[in-house]
Structure 1
């Protein structure tokens, strides 16, 4: 097994490159563009709908009508949404399972096999992926067929591609991002350098957090060009000799040409808060400024960004609100 090269702090940084990078950080949006739509955790967004969990209920918020519909589900967490279907982890029976809810028919079904207390489902079309006990599963809810597709965790799905974190599948490297093709059943290694984690996919773009140093930084890989670029800054040293970077990888998401992420450190790279990165322009925008050590969970769909407070880092949070920001406002 190869011990991969690891990223470490350099003695000095290129002042010019750092200056260019910082120019691309825009100022924070005004508070008038941000709306609090509820309280809870783990928001997700699709179209004009936002879903989140709040202990014993799942909330479904319609942005057009500004209505909030709730569904009882004890121990509900990690919801996701695609079109008119919701999925989340449910523990109301005392045993972890996945709940699948169809909005038009108001019917709920459950996935009970191969689910554990850490399972976080992701849905695209009629397919749901999740991990349990270091295995990745794919279920087609239209045919009720379920398959183990890999060894790993933190899967995400787009169309016929599934990406996930693995430390045991590729004999040449120890930590990888793997991509599985549902049609061909073939797997390839997308990333094997540093400490790649929490992969996300949309279209031909795969992003992940390289968490070898501190809170990590964001990398994007284009499957059509086989090119990889850094979205945010790895660990480095500013012109004054202060350490910065590797502070943007705790929660990441992608949709179309936008990447959203949390930053909880005030350093040379920027202020803490919720950011949107535009892949077309190469520009990061701070859309909401938080104090240091506040960790958020931003998600994005078209011009809508939603976020809550990360349950894994609640000590620095001032509230558990669910917030919505309209990029087009």
Structure 2
């Protein structure tokens, strides 16, 4: 070690002493060092022993407290490296908002499952009014993706946004955008799902798709005229798992009407999502029927 690199050993604490004062294990400190969350002030080149300054104790305790919130170490690194206290608090607020949103979804899922397990499914389905409607043939531009349930809201918004932008070159939008689920989408199954926007000009649509190349797996196809059974739901009900009850309500309704499913289920978005409030109706949950 050169004179410029010399470290005053009297100001340093061994990893054992530092761990005791910071109320962390030596194993945790080694992990935090490896991930760049809390690095020692000095590492002996010969022995490899780690040494810390007393001033690092507060940071170590902060890391430990953030871990008690189950915050991933990558996000902890962002908090402790924030330029000031306001920025650090903002990062914590953003993380906790994500946590509360996830817990709210899990709480709703637990209530939904409790209803199913206790035999109260009919009560849940009774909240939905199911009707049928005949839809005309439509030319649609589409984007397909394998996507898990947690990724679905962000993908739907971005995919429909891209397609609606492209529709300006395809004669304009002539119907409500919709999403078709060609296979199950859940936390374990990734579909695929297909975002669709009805457009006016099939020739222009095919030219637009050709121009896109392989970008976002866009296609153009003709959606046949068909009858669908549907129930109308609010923006709040679109969230998982509330929407599962809507799909199941339509499925339960079909046999009593002498109808059967004749195609994959879909969500038809007929309202301005951004302008809608939680209790505003925005979406039809639908099944083609025969």
- With structure 1 as the length reference, what TM-score do the two structures score? 0.19
Larger Rg: 2
Which protein is richer in strand relative to its size?
1
Instruction: Using structure 2 for the length normalisation, give the TM-score.
Output: 0.20
Higher helix share: 2
